[in-house]
Structure 1
Amino acid sequence: MQLIRNITGNPEVTVLKEKRAAGVLDSFAKGGENRRRATIGICASKPRAEAPRASAATPAAVQRLSPPAPAAQPGPTLDSKPSTKMKGLFKSKPRTPVDVVRQTRELLIFAGRAPDTRETKREEKMAELSKNIRELKQILYGNSESEPVSEACAQLTQEFFRENTLRLLITCVPKLNLEARKDATQVVANLQRQQVHSKLIACEYLEKNIDLLDILVSGYENTDMALHYGAMLRECIRHQTVAKYVLESQHMKKFFDFIQLPNFDIAADAAATFKELLTRHKSTVAEFLSKNYEWFFAEYNSKLLESSNYITRRQAIKLLGDILLDRSNSVVMTRYVSSRDNLRILMNLLRESSKSIQIEAFHVFKLFAANQNKPPDIVGILITNRSKLLRLFADFKPDKENEQFEADKALVVKEIAALEPRDRP
């Protein structure tokens, strides 16, 4: 400070510019050092060597005068995660059943187009479609943690049939992977049972889009689609008007061939659908059989009852018993048991080595014996074969005791034993 006073107060003292700056800087440095020592209480045992004076151009001096740079604050990184509150702000809104159906419809439309888009993009869309179909199934069936919600099912069903989503889904099944096909089959099946305002709107939709049944029946001609379309078809014919359409269509004749397909699973599935068509809606079936008796039973006898395939014969004779023993088919039954050709087929089935076929054949044969208005040719055949029939029935019994069967057998034996020849009219 004295130096400064001398320089500024005494005009006779002249100091070069470089020396003046060095002196000021040196005094500033020494004063700072003394203050630090006084503050932290450091006592030097030896006097410190005088630091060399720095010139005005020395960078060290400039650095001492400059304030220290603030410490760098860590900035946000790409890996930093948003807080829980931020997550809540950007969380996607849960989709409603209507949203799922609408998005599924858009994806089905995309899937139905020719594959002119990039393969990668198409795979992504198809994967998204499969995910949506799985979500539709979960809404309709529930999952391991919760039961289906009736309101959600109603919303889904209403939106599904508001536009052609069912048609899109059925026609798109061949383009789906196996798991998605299974899910789609379950979705279509469940929708046939869903009621909206106490109405089965699936039935109304199918009545207006009856050609969809043509696609489903024809599915038996495609090995990959047969089981999926077959399951859908059985659920659709739960509706009487839909079943009537199939019964009266040319598709009905195809079932006699489908049932004999070499693929066992497909043949069994076709047989299950065939049985459903002929047993579910009693009045419709009775009307169909009455109108189509000639060709239907001609096909039934030759292709099913006289088939070389054991399983086909066994299924056919059991179904025939179910049909003829149903009261709604009494007119058809009376006509059937008045035919000598039919009796001949049944008597041959009674001679089968398979006990199960014999038992099922007996349930149909007893209708011939119990008929109180037997035509003369039927009586003649029974009398001619009376001794053989009585010997057969003597040891004829099911594997398990069955009182009703024994009662029926006793009645048949009594009727055959009491037969007398009748003159032909």
Structure 2
Amino acid sequence: MHTEPYIPGLILDREGLRFNGLRIYSPRTYSPQTRENAKRDAMWDYFAYMASRNTRVVWGRKKLGKIGGCLSSGGQPAAQSASASQAVARRLPLPENTDVGVENAKMKALFKPKPKTPADLVRQTRDLLIFADRGTDTKESKREEKMMELSKLIRDLKSILYGDSESEPVSEACTQLTQEFFRENTLRLLIICLPKLNLETRKDATQVVANLQRQQVQSRLIACDYLEKNIDLMDTLIAGYENTDLALHYGAMLRECIRHQSVARYVLESEHMKRFFDYIQLPNFDIASDAAATFKELLTRHKSTVAEFLSKNYDWFFAEYNSKLLESTNYITRRQAVKLLGDILLDRSNSAVMTRYVSSRDNLRILMNLLRESSKSIQIEAFHVFKLFAANQNKPPDIVGILVTNRSKLLRLFADFKTEKEDEQFEADKALVVKEIAALEPK
């Protein structure tokens, strides 16, 4: 026969220990001895809870009741256990609000999981990436569950780094995330496992990697330190242009990584640099454009490194540049190439390279052909390079000879050569070129 429990709402039965309907623990998987210990532990948890509510509970020497009985009565009839119950426990009055829902909410709050820190999220992400990388034999449903969890974690990392619609990113959280991310090989795992992620998660991962390249920890870009020690990751990213599904993601990561000068130097000096001349001409327009954007970043961001690279690799680089890009059959490739050439040669840090380039008759021939293009855009960009040949005060004899031979054609061309919008600087440059060509004398 069960009696009313002395502690209202606290019941121990075959389903386990419950407080106002909320299960605190289940005894089914425990041995008898473990169950006894668990019952006592649960009682102490309850006492701690009551203490948090300004309620005092005193526990006497009475043994806990058996399963099926209430804790305070030991399973005895109420008449026999009344005095014993008072010896077992005595408490102060409960607060006025004893609504069961309120009690349950408070109990749930006690067992609420601790919020995950940014470092925790990175560690869990790393563990799941290791799982994905190993490709262990698991049930399909279990694998899908883990991959969904991985997607959520990567999305959470992105939210910390970029913020969301309700809040801006917190610098301290970003710092913790960055430190943990580069403490071990999380970046390597993320890059390697990218093919195994779904499209949206790939996008999130790309944004995470991009953001981390700019995160400073104690005024240092620790991403740069990591990449210098794991520079082979650039090989993986560059080779990604050969994979249609991954090219844009790896390309975006690569452009962010070469923001670091040491990483850009590695790519420039590697054999991979020659591959870009092929990637830029890939039939897939999006991938070709992405490769062209990376190529431009490599040749314009770090001035001193680029100047050194071009000086050391002038012959093969411009031979490839002229034949594969400037003389390409693809209009977009030619337009992008001639514009980039102008950006490179007009940069002061590349003055030595520019002088060498404008001293070549083969280069002049290519630029004069581009001036005859039907596309106004290509003509304008070609003019900005051609004017360097004309303005060179130390023109080699063969350059002078070509300009003199084609003088009348060039002057007629420039007479009607105008931009769509009025441009005073362009007109001034054109006038100077016309003057130089008109004054040339054969050598």
Q: Name the TM tier (shorter chain).
A: 0.7 to 0.9
Residue pairs, 1:91-106, within 5 angstroms: 91-106=112-127
| In 2, Cα distance between equivalents of 1:303 and 1:115 | 45
User: Could you give the per-residue CA deviations for residues 283-328 of structure 1, whole angstroms, max 9, x where no partner exists?
Assistant: 0000000000000000000000000000000000000000000000
| In 2, Cα distance between equivalents of 1:78 and 1:184 | 40
1:380 aligns to what? Answer: 401
User: Could you give the per-residue CA deviations for residues 114-151 of structure 1, whole angstroms, max 9, x where no partner exists?
Assistant: 24111111000000000000000000000011100000
Please point out which of 160, 165, 184 is paired with 1:163: 184
**Residue 393 (structure 1) aligned with residue 410 (structure 2):** no
1:115–1:122 CA contact under 8 A, matched in 2: no
2:135 aligns to what? Answer: 114
1:237 aligns to what? Answer: 258
Amino acid at match of 1:172: C
The alpha carbon displacement at 1:90 in A equals: 1.8
**Residue 133 (structure 1) aligned with residue 154 (structure 2):** yes
2:22–2:104 CA contact under 8 A, matched in 1: no
Please point out which of 332, 355, 358 is paired with 1:311: 332
The alpha carbon displacement at 1:93 in A equals: 1.3
1:343 aligns to what? Answer: 364
Structure 2: unaligned runs, 5 residues or longer: 12-19, 24-99
**Residue 287 (structure 1) aligned with residue 287 (structure 2):** no
2:49 aligns to what? Answer: none
SS at 1:93 equivalent: coil
The alpha carbon displacement at 1:220 in A equals: 0.2
1:174 aligns to what? Answer: 195
SS at 2:254 equivalent: helix
User: Could you give the per-residue CA deviations for residues 228-247 of structure 1, whole angstroms, max 9, x where no partner exists?
Assistant: 00000000000000000000
1:404 aligns to what? Answer: 425
Amino acid at match of 1:351: R
1:212 aligns to what? Answer: 233
**Residue 272 (structure 1) aligned with residue 293 (structure 2):** yes
SS at 1:256 equivalent: helix
| In 2, Cα distance between equivalents of 1:184 and 1:116 | 25
The alpha carbon displacement at 1:77 in A equals: 6.9
Amino acid at match of 1:86: M
Q: Calculate the TM-score normalised by the size of structure 2.
A: 0.77
1:220–1:226 CA contact under 8 A, matched in 2: yes
2:206–2:252 CA contact under 8 A, matched in 1: yes
The alpha carbon displacement at 1:191 in A equals: 0.4
Amino acid at match of 1:304: L
| In 1, Cα distance between equivalents of 2:280 and 2:118 | 39
The alpha carbon displacement at 1:402 in A equals: 0.4
The alpha carbon displacement at 1:78 in A equals: 9.0
When structure 1 is superposed on structure 2, of 111-120 and 253-262 the one drifting more is: 111-120
| In 2, Cα distance between equivalents of 1:77 and 1:413 | 94
The alpha carbon displacement at 1:349 in A equals: 0.2
RMSD over equivalenced CA pairs, Å: 1.8
User: Could you give the per-residue CA deviations for residues 350-384 of structure 1, whole angstroms, max 9, x where no partner exists?
Assistant: 00000000000000000000000000000000000
| In 2, Cα distance between equivalents of 1:143 and 1:231 | 22
Amino acid at match of 1:259: I
Structure 1: unaligned runs, 5 residues or longer: 1-69
Alignment: residue pair count: 352
**Residue 413 (structure 1) aligned with residue 408 (structure 2):** no
| In 2, Cα distance between equivalents of 1:255 and 1:92 | 50
User: Could you give the per-residue CA deviations for residues 13-61 of structure 1, whole angstroms, max 9, x where no partner exists?
Assistant: xxxxxxxxxxxxxxxxxxxxxxxxxxxxxxxxxxxxxxxxxxxxxxxxx
1:26 aligns to what? Answer: none
Q: Percent identity?
A: 85
Amino acid at match of 1:389: L
The alpha carbon displacement at 1:89 in A equals: 1.3
SS at 2:245 equivalent: coil
Structure index of larger Rg:
1
1:314–1:357 CA contact under 8 A, matched in 2: yes
| In 1, Cα distance between equivalents of 2:388 and 2:21 | 88
| In 2, Cα distance between equivalents of 1:271 and 1:359 | 20
1:56 aligns to what? Answer: none
| In 1, Cα distance between equivalents of 2:22 and 2:303 | 70
2:320 aligns to what? Answer: 299
User: Could you give the per-residue CA deviations for residues 86-115 of structure 1, whole angstroms, max 9, x where no partner exists?
Assistant: 221121211100100010010100010124
1:49 aligns to what? Answer: none
2:276–2:291 CA contact under 8 A, matched in 1: yes
> Which structure has greater strand proportion?
2
